[in-house]
């Protein structure tokens, strides 16, 4: 972290050291389903020593198109540059980035707890209900609960269950719905044409430049 | 698994008329269809089926056997740079493939179109640490525009077509196709080769937006001190004419990056010289005085900008580039003109007014005169003491009249050659710009000559870099190509020594390099040559080299401790450029 700050200050870094605040950004990437593409995208971050906080990749609503949801904490300047570098990759169709306000997001968490403790303690049951958790598996020796929510929510249940002998915990990567998105179907049809419409062939961030020009 | 494969292949569909060929033959058919005439390569176990097929394609495909795969890929780069076509390189798996890495990195950063084919172990051996197995796809991912591993011959025609389309379109770059041995051998129904012009996820060029052209033109028309800086994009976009028309209409002074040089002739009156660390005085200082900076097909490399937070802060910036990721990457633009400059420049030219800018142009001349007095005169026309690199280049200019292709290595001689060599034609300067790869010159010159056989090609190398790929003299010997080799020997790793002198209190740490008798080495390879150390011999020796039939090596002993000036020291602003 310190090194990155120092680089930013020297104005030679990727971020050009503009005094912009870092915040969480969600990068959404639509790609072809191609072996090796995950690596090609990952090294765009690692080369610049930027940490990916969460990464989800799965088939999208469209056959053969994959979707990456990437979360990181950076300035917008850095995120915009990363997005352009990602979109430059041959097998990437489109990249978007959004702040948390612009998306609806969720992470899923699983908790494994000894069955006897929860059976004994009524407290636990109430606790689980409060956190909207549900049992996925109940066995003699252990029970697995599941809950979905924001990071703080899944964290809260984690802290709450710890005193009751929590055995194992896992949390999924973040997945997000973009509030303003109209889906990718129409865009894809445009991509399939040799002469695409303006929107497709241009970089997504171009429109943001409209206000920049002053004379 | 291998046996199973073979069995499968015996089931030949008798009804179909489509030709059944091996993956290797399909690959070579693809190369022929793409108009490839020359391949630089080196065989080995995992690529033997392709080499076996190549035996029958000798008439159509001229394969040049290099001495090291790095030499092969640099030759491919030289070929691509001089011809404007895609360079093609073959290497085997494992060490053959890893020897390509330096060239891939070089081609990636200098946007050179290449298609490299590497052999790979049988598909069923992937991931078993088989003999000469290396994870080539993952090793080359950061240094390729695109790469792909073929494990089935059926994929070959389409993958090759994609490879060529990607390598040469948009912002060009190197592509690597790794082909497992089974796919090279496997027979399949080859339905012919169809070139690719569309990949749905790939947009080689952004669409041109008229409002940005209009905004850019308005800025240029209102400018009192407009300044054009151009890079290799003009050459890669084959937009030299469009570029010249643009600067001529607006009378816009224009300076170049070392990859952009030659897009307009050196003597053009609006050509005000070289940018960057060892560039000319005026273009560097005036970058920080212009009111509108028009960057065309260049990427604001740190060697060009010096300290970024003191770079052209007073100016409005217009950036023309085909790669959207370059816009605002290093320098924040006022108007981004996205697109292919071959399309955007004529649109811009139409909208700009004819102007004189007499006073502003005069400023460049004044700085030029200062630089001539302080640096250039002594470098180009010394009368006493040992020879300088500059005077060698100057004498070469007189003889070539700017018609030769100059291929440089990396170091002081590179900066001197780029600063002083005269170019009348585009695609005349081949140098390793972004990566600064020592050892580039000799193999790249071989490739450059294959790419432009009617032109004189002169490789200029230092005594250090020449030894990095000196083995390629063997390639010259075997293929009999005519490359002139000029070694400027200062008995030092000169550029590093210069930095040690200027910034490390002359603590010359391991820059004192010994060399063999280069003329004797050349002679062992059947290449004639000469070594000179006296000024009086220079003109005749250069003449002899240029007039010699076939390759020739001329070693010129130059001053040991000369420094390249002007210089923008690292971490300084371009306006802090030092004349001494
Ligand atoms: C492969 C490689 N290794 C190291 C360097 C660092 N380097 C840059 S210039 C230079 C010295 C070059 O010496 P020489 O080839 O004799 O040329 P000169 O500078 O003397 O003209 C070195 C070592 C490099 N650019 N490339």
Whether residue A210 lies inside any domain: the answer is: no
Token pair belonging to A187: 């865009």
Residue A193 lies in a domain: no
Check: CB of residue B330 under 8 Å from CB of residue B306: no
ipTM for the predicted complex: 0.91
Nearest neighbour of A202 by CB, restricted to B142, B206, B219: B206
Cα distances (Å, whole numbers) of residue A7 to A48, A77, A92: 11, 14, 29
Q: Is B495 an annotated catalytic residue?
A: yes
Is there a domain that residue A135 lies in?
yes
* CA of residue B452 to ligand 1 center, whole Å: 27
**A32:B201 CB<8 A:** yes
Name A55's Cβ contacts closer than 8 Å, sequence gap at least 6. Answer: A42, A68, A69, A70, A71, A173
**Contact state of B137 with A36 under an 8 Å Cβ cutoff:** yes
User: How far is it, in rounded angstroms, from Cα B68 to Cα B340?
Assistant: 36
pLDDT by 10s per residue, chain A, length 215: 333 333 333 333 344 444 579 999 999 999 999 989 999 999 999 999 999 999 999 999 998 999 999 999 999 999 999 999 999 999 999 999 999 999 999 999 999 999 988 877 777 778 888 999 999 999 999 999 999 999 999 999 999 999 889 999 999 999 999 999 888 888 888 888 877 666 555 554 444 544 333 22
CATH of the domain at B162: 3.40.50.970
What's the pLDDT score for residue A189? 84
List residues in chain B touching A: CB distance below 8 A. Answer: 137-138, 141-142, 145-149, 166, 197-203, 205-207, 209, 215, 218-219, 222, 302, 307-309, 323-325, 327-330, 332, 334-336, 338
Specify the pairing of strand A103-114 against strand A168-171.
antiparallel
**C-alpha distance from residue B555 to each of A207, B383, B541 (Å):** 57, 20, 10
Residues B342 and B425 in one domain: no
- CA–centroid distance, B31 to ligand 1, in Å, is 36
Domain total of chain B: 3
Q: Is residue A179 part of a domain?
A: no
In a domain? residue B567: no
**Residue at A148 is within a domain:** yes
Residues B337 and B412 in one domain: no
Q: How far apart are the first and last CA of chain A?
A: 38
CATH of the domain at A51: 3.30.70.260
pLDDT in tens, B430-449: 999 999 999 999 999 999 99
Question: Do residues B273 and B279 make contact, with C-beta atoms less than 8 angstroms apart?
Answer: yes
Tell me which of A58, A88, A103 is where a domain ends. A103
User: What confidence score (pLDDT) does residue A188 get?
Assistant: 84
Pairing of strands B316-321, B292-296: parallel
Residues ≥6 apart with Cβ < 8 Å to A145: A110, A111, A113, A128, A133, A134, A135, A136, A157
Q: Which of B145, B168, B181, B225 is catalytic?
A: B181
B382 closest CA partner among B371, B370, B395, B365:
B395
What is the B236 CA–ligand 1 centroid distance (Å)? 27
| Structural domain for A161, as ranges | 105-171
Domain range spanning residue B390?
A: 386-557
Query: With contact defined as beta carbons under 8 Å apart, do A117 and A45 qualify?
Result: no
Please name the member of A32, A40, A213 whose beta carbon is closest to the beta carbon of B215. Answer: A213
- A26 in the same domain as A93: yes
**Are B33 and B141 part of one and the same domain?**
yes
B342 and B399 housed in the same domain? no
Q: Is residue B144 part of a domain?
A: yes
Block mean pLDDT (10 aa), chain B, length 580: 44 60 98 98 98 98 98 98 98 98 98 98 97 98 98 98 98 98 98 94 92 97 98 98 98 98 98 98 98 98 96 98 96 96 98 98 98 97 96 98 98 98 98 98 98 98 98 98 98 98 97 98 98 98 98 98 96 96
B12 near B20, Cβ under 8 Å?
yes
Q: How many CB pairs under 8 A join A and B?
A: 86
pLDDT at B491: 98
Q: Based on the domain organization, do B338 and B474 belong to the same domain?
A: no
Selected catalytic residue, list B69, B379, B391, B555? B69
How many distinct structural domains can be found in chain A?
Answer: 2
**Residue B543 annotated as catalytic:** no
- Mark whether B232 and B325 lie in a shared domain: yes
In a domain? residue B239: yes
Task: Kindly state whether residue A212 falls inside one of the protein's structural domains.
Answer: no
Q: Quote the tokens at residue B296.
A: 């065309």
Residue B373 lies in a domain: no
pLDDT at B17: 55
* pTM reported for the whole predicted model: 0.93
Give pLDDT, residue A123: 78
Report helix, strand and coil shares of chain B as percent, to nearest 5. Answer: 45, 20, 40
- Please tell me whether residues A126 and A158 are part of one structural domain: yes
Specify if B553 maps to a domain: yes
Give the pLDDT score at B285: 98
Instruction: Determine the Cα–Cα distance for residues B405 and B102; give it in Å rounded to an integer.
Output: 23
How far apart are the CA of B264 and the centre of ligand 1, in A?
29
Residues A154 and A77 in one domain: no
Whether residues B159 and B299 fall in one domain: no
We report the CATH number of the domain holding residue B249 as: 3.40.50.1220
User: Per-residue DSSP letters for B46-69?
Assistant: GGHHHHHHHGGGTTT-EEEE-SSH
Q: Residues B495, B500, B545, B555: which is the catalytic one?
A: B495
Q: Is residue A18 part of a domain?
A: yes
CA separation for the pair B52, B29 (Å, rounded): 14
Paired with A103 in beta bridges are A178
Q: Which two tokens stand for residue B92?
A: 């085997």
- Say how far apart CA B79 and CA B120 lie, in whole Å: 25
Q: Which residue of A has its CA nearest to B163?
A: A90
Q: Please report the atom of ligand 1 found closest to the CA of residue B437.
A: 26
- Substitution site in B408, B410, B494 for ligand 1 pocket (most atoms within 8 Å of beta carbon): B410
Q: The dihedral of CA B415, B416, B417, B423: what is its sign?
A: positive
Task: Please indicate, yes or no, whether residues B214 and B357 belong to a single structural domain of this protein.
Answer: yes
CA dist B541 and B399 (Å) reads 11
Residues B339 and B297 in one domain: yes
Residues B321 and B466 in one domain: no
């Amino acid at each position: 972290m310190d090194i990155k700050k120092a680089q930013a200050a020297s104005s030679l870094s990727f971020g050009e050291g503009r005094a912009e605040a870092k915040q969480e950004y969600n990068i959404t990437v639509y790609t072809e389903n191609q072996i090796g593409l995950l690596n090609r995208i990952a090294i765009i971050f690692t080369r610049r020593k930027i940490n990916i906080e969460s990464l989800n990749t799965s088939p999208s609503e469209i056959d053969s198109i994959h979707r990456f949801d990437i979360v990181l904490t950076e300035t917008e300047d850095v995120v915009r540059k990363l997005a352009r570098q990602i979109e430059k990759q041959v097998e990437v169709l489109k990249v978007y980035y959004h702040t948390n306000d612009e998306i609806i997001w969720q992470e899923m968490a699983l908790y494994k707890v000894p069955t006897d403790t929860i059976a004994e303690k009524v407290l636990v049951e109430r606790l689980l209900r409060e956190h909207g958790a549900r049992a996925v598996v109940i066995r003699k020796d252990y029970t697995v609960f599941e809950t979905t929510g924001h990071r703080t929510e899944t964290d809260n249940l984690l802290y709450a269950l710890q005193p009751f002998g929590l055995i194992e915990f896992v949390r999924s990567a973040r997945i997000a719905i973009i509030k303003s998105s109209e889906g990718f179907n129409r865009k894809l049809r445009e991509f399939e044409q040799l002469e695409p419409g303006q929107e497709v062939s241009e970089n997504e961030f171009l429109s943001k430049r409209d206000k920049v020009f002053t004379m | 698994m291998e046996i199973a494969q073979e069995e499968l292949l015996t089931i030949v569909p008798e009804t179909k008329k489509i030709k059944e060929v091996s993956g290797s033959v399909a690959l070579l058919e693809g190369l022929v269809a793409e108009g490839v005439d020359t391949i630089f390569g080196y065989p080995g176990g995992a690529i033997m089926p392709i080499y076996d097929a190549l035996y029958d394609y000798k008439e159509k495909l001229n394969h040049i056997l290099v001495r090291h795969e790095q030499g092969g890929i640099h030759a491919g780069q030289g070929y691509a740079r001089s011809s404007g076509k895609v360079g093609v390189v073959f290497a085997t798996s494992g060490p053959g493939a890893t020897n390509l890495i330096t060239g891939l990195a070089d081609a990636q950063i200098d946007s050179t179109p290449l298609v490299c084919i590497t052999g790979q172990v049988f598909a069923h051996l992937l991931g078993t640490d088989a003999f000469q197995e290396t994870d080539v796809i993952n090793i080359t991912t950061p240094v390729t525009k695109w790469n792909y591993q073929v494990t089935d011959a059926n994929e070959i025609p389409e993958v090759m077509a994609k490879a060529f389309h990607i390598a040469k379109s948009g912002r060009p770059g190197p592509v690597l196709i790794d082909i497992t041995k089974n796919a090279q051998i496997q027979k399949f129904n080859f339905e012919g080769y169809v070139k690719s012009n569309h990949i749905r996820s790939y947009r080689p060029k952004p669409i041109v937006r008229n409002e940005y052209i209009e905004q850019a033109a308005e800025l240029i028309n209102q400018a009192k001190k407009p300044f054009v800086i151009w890079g290799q994009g003009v050459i890669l976009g084959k937009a030299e004419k469009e570029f010249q028309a643009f600067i001529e209409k607006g009378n816009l002074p224009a300076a170049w990056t070392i990859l952009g040089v030659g897009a307009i002739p050196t003597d053009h009156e609006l050509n005000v010289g070289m940018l960057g660390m060892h560039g000319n005085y005026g273009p560097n200082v005036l970058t920080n005085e212009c009111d509108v900076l028009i960057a065309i097909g260049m990427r604001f490399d740190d060697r060009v900008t010096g300290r970024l937070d003191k770079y052209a802060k007073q100016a409005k910036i217009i950036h023309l580039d085909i790669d959207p990721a370059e816009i605002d990457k290093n320098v924040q633009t006022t108007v981004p003109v996205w697109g292919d400059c071959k399309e955007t420049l004529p649109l811009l030219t139409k909208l700009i007014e004819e102007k004189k800018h007499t006073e502003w142009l005069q400023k460049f001349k004044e700085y030029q005169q200062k630089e001539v007095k302080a640096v250039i005169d002594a470098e180009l026309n010394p009368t006493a003491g040992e020879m300088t690199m500059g005077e060698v280049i100057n004498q070469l200019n007189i003889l070539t009249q700017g018609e030769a292709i100059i291929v440089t290595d990396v170091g002081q001689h590179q900066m001197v050659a780029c600063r002083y060599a005269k170019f009348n034609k585009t695609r005349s300067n081949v140098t390793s710009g972004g990566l600064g790869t020592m050892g580039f010159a000799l193999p790249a010159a071989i490739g450059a000559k294959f790419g432009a056989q009617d032109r004189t090609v002169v490789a200029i190398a230092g005594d250090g870099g020449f030894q990095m790929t000196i083995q390629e003299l063997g390639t010259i010997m075997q293929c009999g190509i005519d490359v002139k080799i000029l070694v400027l020997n200062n008995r030092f790793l000169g550029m590093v020594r210069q930095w040690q002198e200027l910034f490390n209190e002359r603590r010359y740490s391991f820059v004192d390099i010994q060399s063999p008798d280069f003329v004797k080495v050349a002679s062992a390879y059947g290449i004639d040559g000469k070594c000179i150390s006296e000024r009086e011999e220079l003109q005749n020796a250069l003449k002899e080299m240029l007039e010699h039939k076939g390759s020739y090596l001329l070693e010129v002993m130059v001053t040991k401790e000369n420094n390249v000036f002007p210089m923008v020291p690292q971490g300084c602003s371009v306006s802090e450029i030092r004349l001494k």
